[in-house]
Amino acid sequence: MNINKVYNFLQYLADKDQSGNITPKEFNLSLPRALNEWVMKRYNNIKTVQPDKQGWQKNQKITDDLRFLLVRNEASNVTPDGRLSLPDDYLHLSSLVYNYKYSEDGNTISIPNDIDIVNDNEIAEFLSSHIYRKKITAKKYVICAFYNDYLQIYPKNIGTVDITYLRKPIEPKWAFTLEKGRPVYDSVKSIDLEVTDDAANEIIVMCASYLGMNLREPELVNYSEMLKSQGV
């Protein structure tokens, strides 16, 4: 959604609410905060909405809401000591896949296998297990554990993996220049709100609350429809 539309709409709501004019600084502090709250509510619900299931895609509503944050990096390099650095914008792992390759009748067969995530205190148990050790050494079974900013993968000499994850949202920004002491929208330096219109309604309600307005989503929709009918 265009950031200037959000800015102007909130200014309109502030005027209706008699909350006073919203400064660019107030807006640029409140909207990213509202966006992060919206994302984190859904992210936290990954484990609470359906606690018997794992993964953000087990709930369709969460999947639809957060799909715009999904990133897939194919053939990500794993260091010789088995480390896979997490991207700077990493938020939540969706899948981690290793392509197991073997020869059959002179042909190379590649089969994608999910990498199992284990707790760091379970690694020694897996590596010492006769059954698992043989599979891990042969690269038929791959495990990993989370650390601060990387994944530790076994076997270490795996080469590359495919990682799909949810990234952090890009922080929206209403940039401006001053003309006769008044802020004027700068479309080049501004960063739009990267969500659907439906999601934007929820985020605007949150943002309005941070700005001191008591607003519910039905009211926001009514205001929006009224403005549309006026050609705004």
Q: How far apart are CA 163 and CA 99, in angstroms?
A: 12
Whether 111 is in a domain gets the answer yes
Q: For residue 53, is it within any domain?
A: no
Q: Which residue has the higher pLDDT, 57 or 122?
A: 122
Let me know how long the chain is.
232
Same domain? For 145 and 202 the reply is no
Q: Show the tokens assigned to 10.
A: 């909130």
**pLDDT for position 51:** 44
**pLDDT (tens digit, 9 = 90+) per residue, 126-174?**
888 888 888 877 788 899 999 999 999 999 999 999 999 999 999 999 9
End residue of a domain, out of 158, 185, 218 = 158
Predicted TM-score (pTM) of this structure? 0.81
Structural domain includes residue 85: yes
Across 10-35, average pLDDT: 88
**Range 178-185, long-range pairs (CB < 8 A, 24+ positions):** 183/24, 185/4, 185/7
Greatest CA separation for the chain: 78
Domain finish residue from 129, 158, 187: 158
What's the rounded Cα separation, in Å, for the pair 206 and 29? 12
**Is there a single domain that holds both residue 83 and residue 154?**
yes
Rounded to the nearest integer, the mean pLDDT of the chain is 85
Judge if 83 and 151 occupy the same domain.
Answer: yes
In the predicted structure, residue 194 carries a pLDDT above the cut 90: yes
Percent of the chain whose predicted confidence (pLDDT) is above 90: 49
* Buried-state track 82-109, b at ≥16 Cβ within 10 A, e below 16: bbbebeeeebebbebbbbbeeeeeeeee
Residue 83 sits in the same domain as residue 139: yes
* Average pLDDT of the segment spanning 65-87: 94
Is residue 110 one of the residues assigned to a domain?
yes
Closest CA to 5 of 143, 158, 120, 174: 174
Tally the domains of the chain. Answer: 2
Last-in-domain residue among 102, 124, 158: 158
Beta bridge partners of 113: 98
Between residues 119 and 220, which one has the greater pLDDT?
119
- Residues 111 and 141 grouped into a single domain: yes
Give the pairing of strands 90-104 and 83-85.
Answer: unpaired
Residue at 15 is within a domain: yes
Q: How far apart are CA 49 and CA 72, in angstroms?
A: 25
- Report d(CA 3, CA 31) in Å as an integer: 10
Give yes or no: residues 41 and 107 share one domain.
no
pLDDT for 227:
53
**Same-domain check for residues 185 and 152:** no
Other CB atoms within 10 A of residue 131 CB: 9
pLDDT band at 229 (very low <50, low <70, confident <90, very high): low
pLDDT band at 106 (very low <50, low <70, confident <90, very high): confident
Based on the domain organization, do 181 and 148 belong to the same domain? no
Contact 176/186 with Cβ under 8 angstroms?
yes
Question: Do residues 151 and 109 share a domain?
Answer: yes
Q: What's the rounded mean pLDDT across residues 202-215?
A: 84
Domain match, 87 and 148 both: yes
| Banded pLDDT at 208 (limits 50, 70, 90) | confident
Whether residue 182 is contained in a domain is answered as yes
3-class SS letters over 163-184: EEEEECCCCCECCEEEECCEEE
Res 54 pLDDT > 50: no
At residue 22, does pLDDT exceed 60?
A: yes
Which domain, by its residues, includes 101? Answer: 79-158
